[in-house]
Chains A and B, each alone.
Chain A
């Protein structure tokens, strides 16, 4: 089997991608949005002419809101990022933006989140991540509870977890790069995307591992079996359906990315990356890793 023969190349690609993702994470850092740290986001669109950023910045500084970030959007719009604003401050901001002429702009959306709400969401997100990880580890432990030879079952579990990390880290890395160049921020949907990737990609890996163990059981004499051949055969049998099940999800996600609402664009992109690398890893990473562990064991 091609993949097993060249396993070191594929494992190398995966490691390279993970290292790249981690490097971008440390270099660029995660930009946390107002969902988590609190703050206000005002989106306005001007009716005829959009004032220049310099013009507005001067007046905005006079408001003493701390740092005010103006971000042009579309032909005539601005997204304004500030600390969280109360009612009066919000009215003042609009007045400044409209330069005294209230009918020169329309407010498309206004979102002000107090810091305590942000802290609450952070706590919820962390709890949800812990809980889903626990649920997945339980699921893996359950799926691999029967001891298999020649590779012991806890190694299957360990590799499944490693693949899972790989599936999450790469999309996060992609997101970090995007957020650096296009200003995407970590919001509640980002957390949902991470959690959904965890849930969807674990079953893919387990399906292939199940096949491997099913084929191992069929072998009459386990000690004489060529492990890498069995893994290769199992991959042959299951990679088409593994790709097909992911492909249908990727197709709808691409539709969501290209045609869907703007609020879920990055969400769709992250999930697409997650589904893609989830499938890639269950075929090109998990099984080669399994064969590598077996070889290491033998050489001892």
Chain B
């Protein structure tokens, strides 16, 4: 008895702890969010595009020119290129996914690009469609850099950028034949070797000839990636970038250089943009519907099932905070459909409780004591609970397997709800009910454990 009470207390405490986490890690709820620890800061709800506003683009990749065993590689290279272009644009948390062709999704290889917060589709499409630029720049004429002390007497060097010193040359990634990763035979340091084509070789020879002892900066998409110093004229069309990078960084650089152009051509299939206001309204409506739905279910449980109903409401609260915490920790990207799945799972979560309590009522009518009736209710209702949950769960899995991102969001939250509810509605409710066995066998106790309009 005391052990049960302690267990119930521990579960309540854990539930409160999880609720505290959900609260603390939500910028809309926590007023001191800015000063919260990074653990909380790193776990806000992840909102889908239809809630946060943004653009959703679907591209078709034409892989007909690629050998079938290289399709995966070229799709991954494509994703890397596009991801890099988007990152340069400064979009927070972009998602670039490959959707492979197949029996279910059709024969096309597709690339799905989600850009939260980007509502200017035109800009987004341009940014993705542009060919990345590999440029070679040389040092410009030396200009004296003026540094004046500011008003407070300090000298601010932060404003002087390296860019100003370099001027463009004709040599670009168009003249690059290939880039390879190699290791310095003496120092074993990784370095990247570039091979230009004929025209590039001539250009490069000219540039190196005129800039011995100076820096040549290699720019990718407008950002300098390496600034080697020219030691002598290079007529062979071969250049080596030796920087202080690890083999992994070197390999990445090679990948980036070789993927100067998109590995496969892409065409835009569909676009979707959602304005931020529309998303905000959807969030508010979703929260409102969740709260009202929860209250309605709680009200019904308490009015109809009395004391067990109150216990079930408590388990349902624990269910809600566990699910919300999982949404944050996994994390699950929430969409309007996902919220719908979550709200429905609140209704389904108490199904098990309803089945159990109805059995308890039957057992009470059959003349059993309150304690016996509760025990029998749990064991007898188990089979029906298992069957109905399994059938719902199978449905959720099929929906998830075959769905588009929208359907997936719904299936995922619904499926998670079903699994977690098995724990909350059965285990948690049972522990709480057992601690309540002190109410005894009196008339009041029997009334409290009965349900509905029956006496």
Contacts and interface: CB of A to CB of B under 8 A. Distances in A.
A124 B452 CA distance: 44
B32 interface: no
A247 interface: yes
Interface string B49-65: 01000000010100000
Contact of A259 (B60, B289, B297, B392): B289
Interface string B288-303: 1110111011001100
A143 B391 CA distance: 11
B277 interface: yes
Given A112-B272, A127-B402, A260 B394 contact: no
A240 B394 CA distance: 26
A262 B354 contact: no
Contacts of A204: 388
Indicate the size class of the contact surface on chain B.
Answer: 35 or more
Given A117-B269, A240-B452, A139 B122 contact: no
Contacts of A253: 293, 343-344, 347
A196 B395 contact: yes
Interface stretch (B7-15, B101-109, B212-220, B324-332): B101-109
Contact of A237 (B340, B350, B362): B362
A39 to B, nearest CB: 10
Contact of B388 (A90, A203, A244): A203
Contacts of A254: 293, 296
B395 A110 contact: no
A109 B344 contact: no
B111 interface: no
A128 B270 contact: no
B281 interface: yes
B270 A248 contact: no
The A interface, classified by DSSP as helix, strand, loop or mixed, is helix
Interface stretch (B36-44, B226-234, B404-412): B404-412
Contacts of A263: 50, 282, 336-337
B45 to A, nearest CB: 15
Contacts of B336: 260-261, 263-264
Contacts of B58: 114, 117
A155 to B, nearest CB: 20
Contact of B297 (A202, A240, A248, A264): A248
A119 B106 CA distance: 9
A132 B347 contact: no
A239 B108 CA distance: 50
B348 interface: yes
Nearest to A263: B336
A128 B255 CA distance: 39
B364 to A, nearest CB: 14
Given A132-B398, A198-B395, A245 B351 contact: yes
A54 B278 CA distance: 27
A72 interface: no
Interface centre among A110, A143, A263, A267 (most CB of B within 10 A): A263
B337 A192 contact: yes
Contacts, number: 213
Nearest to B108: A116
B125 interface: yes
B106 A132 contact: no
Given A117-B58, A253-B344, A267-B340, A261 B286 contact: yes
A119 B391 CA distance: 29
A5 B119 CA distance: 62
B354 A241 contact: yes
A86 B268 contact: yes
B121 A87 contact: yes
- Please list the 3 inter-chain residue pairs (A to B) with the smallest Cβ-Cβ separation, ordered nearest first: A199-B395, A255-B293, A249-B347
14 contacts: A90-B121, A108-B277, A128-B398, A139-B394, A199-B392, A248-B301, A249-B348, A251-B296, A252-B297, A253-B347, A255-B290, A259-B289, A261-B282, A262-B285
Interface of B: 50, 58, 60, 104-106, 108, 119, 121-122, 125, 268-275, 277-278, 281-283, 285-286, 288-290, 292-294, 296-297, 300-301, 304, 336-337, 339-340, 343-344, 346-348, 350-351, 354-355, 358, 362, 384, 387-388, 391-392, 394-396, 398-399, 402-404, 406-407, 410-411, 414, 452
Given A112-B270, A237-B362, A264-B337, 4 more contacts: A87-B121, A109-B273, A192-B399, A249-B348
Interface of A: 43, 84, 86-87, 90-91, 106-114, 116-117, 119-121, 123-124, 127-128, 131-132, 135-136, 139, 143, 188-189, 191-192, 195-196, 198-200, 202-204, 206-207, 210, 237, 240-241, 244-245, 247-256, 258-264, 267-268, 271
